Structures are given as structure tokens and as C-alpha cells.
Structure 1
Amino acid sequence: MQKLLFFLCCVCGPFSLHAQGYDITVQLKGYTGGTVYLGHYMGKTTYVMDSAQMNQQGIAVLKGKETQPGGIYLIVLPGKQRYFEILLDKQQTFSVAADTADLAGKTEFRNSEDNAMFAAYNRYIATMAGEMEQVQRRQAAARTAQDTAAVRAASEAIGKKLQQYRSDIVTTRPGTLLAVIFKAMREPVVPPMPQKANGSLDSTYPYRYYKAHYWDDVNLADGRLVRTPVLEARLARYFDQLVAPQPDSVIAEADWLIAKTQKDKESFKFVVWWLTKTYETSPIMGMDAVFVHLVEKYYVTGQAYWVNDEQKEKIISRAYSIAPNLIGQKAAQLVLQDTASRRTSLYDIKSKYTVVVFWDPTCGHCITEVPKLDSAFKASWKQQGVTMLGVKTEGTREEWTAFIRDKKLTGWIHAWDPGYTTNYRKFYDVYSTPVVYLLDENKKILAKRLGVEQLDGFLQRELADTARKP
């Protein structure tokens, strides 16, 4: 069972108010008391939004004045260890009777055609699961290639039956929530590869066709998909597997996709929020440029209507702290003092590459990483035209100079900003240490926030690319 979160994040926002609200009577066979909860999906995450006490007959009524957005909801059993899914859409007053000994097979609904159809589908899934178990047993017992082929054919037949079941609902019940969900789960069927002019097959065609038709069956103007796991799963796969991991490519795809959600506030809100969250915390270097773009286009302009002024200010402030140090930008000037209190300037360093390290002699991570950086510098980087600029952020002057002496960090330019006149924390986004930047000879940012091994790999590739250029 997925973990249920007992709070709502800011993406949820206010709901539309309707007089009828929701009124769900739940009867659980085998229970004579306890608390029943009503939850919902928001993407792949689940949240609890309401609860009701059961009487001795095992009946509880979940009731609210606000009609809920359409989507997949959850009836969570007492003890919060088990749940079953229901659909909420236009009809939000109905009853459900569930036998907890067989939730999939013996759950019945009254006054809800959507849920009667959903329950029938769940029973069909249970039947298919039984057939698949038999196939898996045959697979374990397979001894010959013929046995394996027969098992594969049986497995494919089950998959086709399941797809046909879903397709029938899409065809016969268009517009229903279940049909919208099943349609959004469809995968593009890629035609055979065409021949190129020279007679060879176009091996790039399957990828290009699949990507071009990935969203064909997903109605991005239908906010009901927000409260299902389907939309977030498709977003994650699209941006992880089909979009080139380059900021410009991701930005173009993000804007194109967001434009398709503009007709539905819930869909627009979720997609913008998901992209913002994803690229603020992306582990791929340089993707913070996507976050900055999203904030400038959708939050600064006031389109992110679901965040309050305080939240918006924090998001915008975070973007503006990243904007000056994006990959490809010129690094901010640093006018510092070295260990002898002499002036030293970043832009006075004449070097093919400069590695700027913001570090703290009292920081446990720095104590480990800074000597590793020094080892790589002395082993190869120095000979490859790299200058090391170490900038003290915390700790006393005595702790700083003692660390430099004890660890033999020779060959570096060691400096600090005693009056904090450079505002380096803002311009280099230094909120923890160590923070490492790689700059070229013109002080353009090539890489940042990499570990020693990653930085070395990046530098070697950069050197190799430079060597190949005419």
C-alpha cells in the first residue's frame, strides 16, 4: 500500500464550490467500528482529505459540502493498512459495499455507473491475474524453445485481451473518466521502419514516430487526469526518456506541453508545478536553467495563480539566486584577499581553466573533498592549464590557514572576502559547501556542483573536444 500523506501541498489549491458536494456511504463487511478515510491521488502521490467513524453495522458516511474534482479516490480502511480505489466524477452521491475478504471481487456500488464499470474492470483484472499466474508457472517449467514460445504467446494473448477490454470502454463509453484514463494509458503503435533513399532502414524512425505521437491519446485539457497516477507517469517518462537532456530542448518541450493544458486550470496548474519541482531539483547539471525559465514565464507573470504571495516570493527569489550562475553565463567577479591580505581578483587570473572552490575548513564534507580536489589538481589538472581558486566561506582565519598548511594545498590561490563585499553567496548560489565551478579562460561557467570524479571526467572531455577543433 502506498504511504498516505495527511496534508495537501500548495499545488492542490482551492476547489470549485457546488451545492451538492459529495456523499459516499461505505459499508465494510467484517468491521464493527473504526475510522474510514477518503483519499485521492495528486499525480502518483496520495493524500487523505476526509474521515468518518463507522457504526456497529460497519457503515460510515463520508460527506462534504464541496464537490471534488474528478479523479481516482481511495477508501482507506480502519488501521490505514488497506484501501480500494473508487472514481469520483459528476456523480458524487452513491454507496459502496465491500467485502474486505475480497475487495477486488466483491465490492459493489449503487447509484454510480462509473464505479460499477470500474468494479467490473477490477474483477476482470483479477481474472487476468489468475491466468497470468498459470502462464508464469508454465514459464518456470519450460524446457524447450517450443515451450518458451508457447508461454510467450499465451502472455501476449492475455495482454491483448486486457487492451481490448480497455479499448471497448473507450469506444462504447467515450467521455467517461474510465475511458479518458484508459485512452491516456495507450502506447503509440509504431509502424515498420521505412527505407531510406539508399535502401537501408531508417533506424531513427521508431523513436521519432513514438515521440511525435506520445501525447496523441492524452487529453491535456482534462483536469481529471491530474487526480490519477497516469499523467505524472507519462510526464516523467517523456522528459526522462524522450526529450534530449539539454536545457534548450527541455524548455521548448515544457512550453509546448504547458500550452496544451491552458484550457483546464487543474491540468495547467499540475503540469507547471510538476515541471518546476522536477527541474529545481534535477540531478543533471545545467537543468536549473529550465527552473529559472519556468519561474520567469509562469510565476513572475502571475500565471501561477495557486501560490500565495509568500510562496511566490520564495520561488522567485530561488530562481533569481540561480540565474546569475547558469551554465554558459560569465561568472561574477570576485575581488578577494589572499592569505597575506593582498588583493586578488578572479578576472586577473590568466588561465585556460579556473576551478573555483567555495569551502569551509570546519565543514566535514569539505575536509574530505578539498584534499581530493588537490590530488586531482596535482596529478593532472595543473599540467592541463587549470588554476585553483579556493574561497573560504566560514571558519576562522587561523583554522583556514592551518588546514591549508596541514593538507599541503600548495599551488592554489587561497582567498577570502572578510567584508563580504562580493555577495558571492548570491551570485554563486553558495548555501552549502563545498561548491565547485569550472570556468574557461574567459570566465564562462562550463560546469558546476560536480564531485571530483565527475569534474575530472568533464574536464577531460572538454580538453579532448578542444583538441579536435581546427
Structure 2
Amino acid sequence: MRKLFVLLIAIFLVHLQLQAQGYQISIKLKNFTGGKLFLANYMGRTTYLADSADVSATGEVVLKGKERLLPGIYLVVLPGKQQYIEALIDKQQVFSVSIDTSDLINKTVYKNSPDNELFLSYNQFLFQQETLSRNIQQQLKAAHTAADSAKALPLQQELGKKIQDFRNGFIAKHPATILAAIFRAMKEPEIPKQPVGEDSSFAYRYFKAHYWDEVDLESDRLVRTPILEGKLKKYFEQLVPNHPDSIIVDCDAMIARTRKSKEVFKFVLWWLTYNYESSPYMGMDAVFVHLVEKYYVAGEAFWLSDEQLNKIVDRAYTMAPNLIGKQAAPLEFKDTASRPLSLYKTQAKYTVLVFWDPTCGHCKTEIPRLDSAYKASWKSKGVAMIGVKTEGTQQEWLAFINEHHLSGWVHGSDPQSAGNNYRRLYDVYSTPMIYLLDEKKKIVAKRLGVDQLQEFLERLTTKNTAARL
């Protein structure tokens, strides 16, 4: 019993010692007698500075810190920032490496780092395949016909099989390593033969259902690699239907998979939030609002300061009233003769609501284009035009209307004086801001240019005509 107690104490002390050590990477550079060396880490596909140190006159440099580095793929960037090597960081964070810039692949030597010795062997294997890879590229470059390109296909398949065989063999021999976790995540589901009775969507459904099977989302190992972001990007761009409701369901399911790792949860929630807040596709702001309301408002974004959190929540609350399908907020304004008008008193099959500024350069181009499209096509489709001035003087506004003959519009100004918080309710942070409303003043489209709006109205009218037949 005493021996067991002593052993447990020894293990505990070693554990504390390892924690106290943090990390220490000793590097020996050939042909360098000064400069600064940098250590960077991936965060998704982007790299961030993790540490730096000066190179001594003998070409030696030590990177060290009291806190352990989070696992992942790191870049050791040599002085001058023209060359670098990739290194793996996982459990063993005290090691040394000798780097010879004349051959970064074959003359780099690690000590006390089994993970990086294995990683180096993989990179050396890839280096050996470069001749075959170059032959393939040369054939493709010289190809003039589809038949010429087809001749390179067997070589591509051969190269792909050799690399995958290497990775599979590595996973079998070293299953617990970080490199095995990376290789597993890089694999894609192999679709079995379609069962009898299944329809043509079987392959898609199987691939999507098993897409995350080999991806380790329960540890932090993949966050600081390009792999996880690449998997997320492909999944949500190619496998999830491009509709807010479908995306929201898959976002929640994806986040649920990350609950055992704070770092994975943090990265996935951040990636989804940023991706859909900045999406160029109309309607995706609904996904952003959902994520903020469900996770940020609930206090789960533990890494944010109160100020950062408030900015994100405020942005979502600004977007929420003007999502596609929402009822447009009441809007009171005054016409060119200062008579009171209201959005809801303008009856039309469709309403194009434009917030614009007569002094805005973009508005000076787009407003006449909107008017031309309205007179040429939209008016006959039952479209009403409402233009609301946001900036500029009354004289500038009236002069622009007269100069460009904007007849047939409902022109409004001074919406703020009527007590409307129109900038928040309609998210007017730039001009022109364009909304398309239906007969009941529900938002059916927004932030469209003239050409996009033309296509959208044509699709709507065609759809409505077909529905009546």
C-alpha cells in the first residue's frame, strides 16, 4: 500500500511539474546569426502570432512560456519571414529541433518530440511523391482535349491512393496521436452501394449523415489546424440546403456535437456566427439572429467581454425586426409639401421602399436607375415606389427629385420627427437601403440592386401568374 501511495504521489508531482513547465521549444538554425523567429498557430485557416524570440549569434533560439500551448499545427517562421516549417503541438511541449534551410524537409531533426518525428516522416513521404505530382500537373497543363485530360486521371488516382494508404496505415499504427486525429478528420464517408428501395438521394443523405463520423469534436486538437474550418465550410456550403430554416437546424445540431470541448464549441459558434452575419446571400441574417438569441443572450459566449457581447446582441436586435417574412415596421413621414404620410396608407401589390440620401454618391447612380426600371416595367406590375430621405437638406432633396423627374413616387422625408426609430427598425446603416414588400407589407426581399430586384419581381409575378392558372 505504501509503495502504491508513493507511486501516486510521484505521478502527481510529475504532473504538476509538467504543468509548471508550460512549453519550451529549443531551436538551432544553420546559417543564421541573428534576427527574430516567430511561432504562429492556425485558428481555422488563419494564422496568428503565438510567440517570438531573438536568434543568438550562434543561431540558437528558445521559445518558452509558463502556460501550455493549445494543441494544433504551428508554424515556426524563420527570420526574414520567407521560410517556415510546420510543427505539431500536443502533449509533449518541451523539445528541440535543428533546422537547415538548405533542405527543410530532409535536414530537419527533432529531439524528444515523437509527434513531430512522425509528422516529418509524413512530409518526407509527400516530398517523395512530388515527381508523380509534377508529371500529373504537366500533363494537365499540356492537355488540349478532354481525352488528353483523361490520360492524367489514372495517375491522379494512383497518387491519391498512395497518400490515403499511407494515412490509413499511420492511423492503424499510431491511433492516439494528433496526426492520426488530423488524418481521420480529412477522410470523407465512403458511400455504400445503394440499397434496394432507396431513391436517388441516398448517396447525398448517407454522405451528409456520416460526414462528421471521423472528426474528433470532443478534444481541442483540430481547432488550431485548417482542417475543422475546411470541414465546416464544405458542410454548410455544399451539404446543407441554402435556406435559413434548414441552416438553423444544422447549426444547432453542429453546436450540440461540440459540447465536450470548450475550444471546439467556441470556434464552431464563432465561425457560424461570423459566416452568417457576413453572408452575401439575402435572408441569412435570420441565422445570425437565431445564434445570438439562443447562445449569446443565454451567456454561453464565455470568451467575450461585456462590451463585445453587447455589440453582438445589439447588432442582432437591430436585424431582428427586418428579417425576410417579418411585417414591415410602421413608418410615418412627410411628403414634399410637408403633409403627413404613412407606409401602410400606400396600397399596392408590391412596394419598393428606398431609404436614400441626395448627397450620397451611390444614391446618385442607383436612384435614377430604380426610376427607369419602375417606369419601364415595375409600374405595370403593380409596384409602388416609396423613397425616404435620410440625409441632406430639403433643398438638395427636392432639387434631385426635380432634376431626375422622379414622378410617380411617394416621396417622404423627416421620418425621425414622427417618432419612428427607422434606422434601427430598417437597419439603415448605409444608403441606398432597398426593401421589397408584398401587398400586406411583409418583407419579401431586401438589400437588392436594381438588376437583382428586376429578376426577383419577374420571378414573383411569374409564380403568382402560375398559381392562378
Distance 2:212 2:171 in 1: 16
Distance 1:414 1:367 in 2: 16
String of CA shifts for 1:321-356, please: whole Å, max 9, x gaps: 000000000000001100001111001111110010
Residues 168 and 31 (structure 1), Cα distance of their counterparts in 2 relative to 1, 3 Å cut: same
What residue in structure 2 maps to residue 126 of structure 1? Answer: 127
What residue in structure 2 maps to residue 290 of structure 1? Answer: 287
Where 1:223 maps in the other structure, the secondary structure is: coil
Match of 2:204 among 202, 207, 210: 207
How many angstroms does 1:119 deviate by? 0.5
Whichever residue aligns with residue 32 of structure 2, its letter is Y
Whichever residue aligns with residue 332 of structure 1, its letter is A
Residues 279 and 145 (structure 1), Cα distance of their counterparts in 2 relative to 1, 3 Å cut: closer
TM-score (ref. length: structure 2): 0.93
String of CA shifts for 1:339-385, please: whole Å, max 9, x gaps: 00111100111111001000000000000001111011001100100
Where 1:388 maps in the other structure, the secondary structure is: strand
Whichever residue aligns with residue 429 of structure 1, its letter is D
How many angstroms does 1:203 deviate by? 3.0
How many angstroms does 1:195 deviate by? 5.2
How many angstroms does 1:218 deviate by? 0.8
Whichever residue aligns with residue 347 of structure 1, its letter is Y
Q: Root-mean-square deviation (CA), in Å?
A: 1.8
Aligned length: 450
How many angstroms does 1:180 deviate by? 0.3
Distance 1:410 1:126 in 2: 69
Match of 1:450 among 448, 451, 465: 448
What residue in structure 1 maps to residue 433 of structure 2? Answer: 435
Residues 239 and 149 (structure 1), Cα distance of their counterparts in 2 relative to 1, 3 Å cut: closer
Distance 1:379 1:142 in 2: 49
What residue in structure 2 maps to residue 332 of structure 1? Answer: 329
Equivalent residue runs for 1:153-192 within 5 Å? 153-192=154-193
Say if 1:361 and 1:395, in contact at 8 Å, map to a contact too: yes
Say if 1:331 and 1:444, in contact at 8 Å, map to a contact too: yes
The farther-off stretch of 129-138 and 65-74 is: 129-138
Whichever residue aligns with residue 43 of structure 2, its letter is M
Match of 2:251 among 217, 233, 254: 254
Identical residues among aligned pairs (%): 57
Residues 405 and 189 (structure 1), Cα distance of their counterparts in 2 relative to 1, 3 Å cut: same
What residue in structure 2 maps to residue 81 of structure 1? Answer: 82
Where 1:245 maps in the other structure, the secondary structure is: coil
1:341 aligns with 2:344: no
Where 2:96 maps in the other structure, the secondary structure is: strand
Residues 33 and 328 (structure 1), Cα distance of their counterparts in 2 relative to 1, 3 Å cut: same
How many angstroms does 1:145 deviate by? 9.5
Say if 2:136 and 2:155, in contact at 8 Å, map to a contact too: yes
Equivalent residue runs for 1:451-466 within 5 Å? 451-466=449-464
How many angstroms does 1:174 deviate by? 1.2
Whichever residue aligns with residue 250 of structure 1, its letter is I
Where 1:255 maps in the other structure, the secondary structure is: helix
Looking at secondary structure, tell me which structure has more helix per residue.
2
What residue in structure 1 maps to residue 348 of structure 2? Answer: 351
Distance 1:428 1:150 in 2: 57
Where 2:363 maps in the other structure, the secondary structure is: helix
Residues 393 and 136 (structure 1), Cα distance of their counterparts in 2 relative to 1, 3 Å cut: closer
Whichever residue aligns with residue 75 of structure 2, its letter is L
Whichever residue aligns with residue 452 of structure 1, its letter is V
Distance 1:183 1:161 in 2: 16
How many angstroms does 1:139 deviate by? 5.8
Structure 1 residues without counterparts, runs of 5 or longer:
1-16
What residue in structure 1 maps to residue 239 of structure 2? Answer: 242
Where 1:132 maps in the other structure, the secondary structure is: helix
Where 1:18 maps in the other structure, the secondary structure is: helix
Residues 413 and 235 (structure 1), Cα distance of their counterparts in 2 relative to 1, 3 Å cut: same
Equivalent residue runs for 1:390-401 within 5 Å? 390-401=387-398
Match of 2:317 among 320, 325, 329: 320
Where 2:48 maps in the other structure, the secondary structure is: strand
String of CA shifts for 1:303-326, please: whole Å, max 9, x gaps: 110101000000000000000000
Say if 1:105 and 1:126, in contact at 8 Å, map to a contact too: no
Residues 469 and 146 (structure 1), Cα distance of their counterparts in 2 relative to 1, 3 Å cut: closer
How many angstroms does 1:192 deviate by? 3.5
1:216 aligns with 2:227: no
Residues 151 and 413 (structure 1), Cα distance of their counterparts in 2 relative to 1, 3 Å cut: closer
How many angstroms does 1:175 deviate by? 2.1
How many angstroms does 1:240 deviate by? 0.9
Distance 1:141 1:457 in 2: 41
The farther-off stretch of 388-397 and 77-86 is: 77-86
String of CA shifts for 1:412-470, please: whole Å, max 9, x gaps: 00001262621100100001100000000100000000000001111111111111214
Whichever residue aligns with residue 221 of structure 2, its letter is R
How many angstroms does 1:216 deviate by? 1.2
Structure 2 residues without counterparts, runs of 5 or longer:
1-17
What residue in structure 1 maps to residue 401 of structure 2? Answer: 404
Distance 1:259 1:140 in 2: 45
How many angstroms does 1:206 deviate by? 2.1
What residue in structure 2 maps to residue 26 of structure 1? Answer: 27
How many angstroms does 1:144 deviate by? 11
Whichever residue aligns with residue 430 of structure 2, its letter is S
Residues 392 and 166 (structure 1), Cα distance of their counterparts in 2 relative to 1, 3 Å cut: same
Residues 313 and 149 (structure 1), Cα distance of their counterparts in 2 relative to 1, 3 Å cut: closer
What residue in structure 2 maps to residue 37 of structure 1? Answer: 38
String of CA shifts for 1:171-208, please: whole Å, max 9, x gaps: 111121000000000011122445558xxxx4322222
Distance 2:252 2:294 in 1: 9
Whichever residue aligns with residue 74 of structure 1, its letter is L
The farther-off stretch of 412-421 and 247-256 is: 412-421
Say if 1:389 and 1:415, in contact at 8 Å, map to a contact too: yes
How many angstroms does 1:150 deviate by? 5.7
Distance 1:254 1:292 in 2: 12
Distance 2:196 2:368 in 1: 56
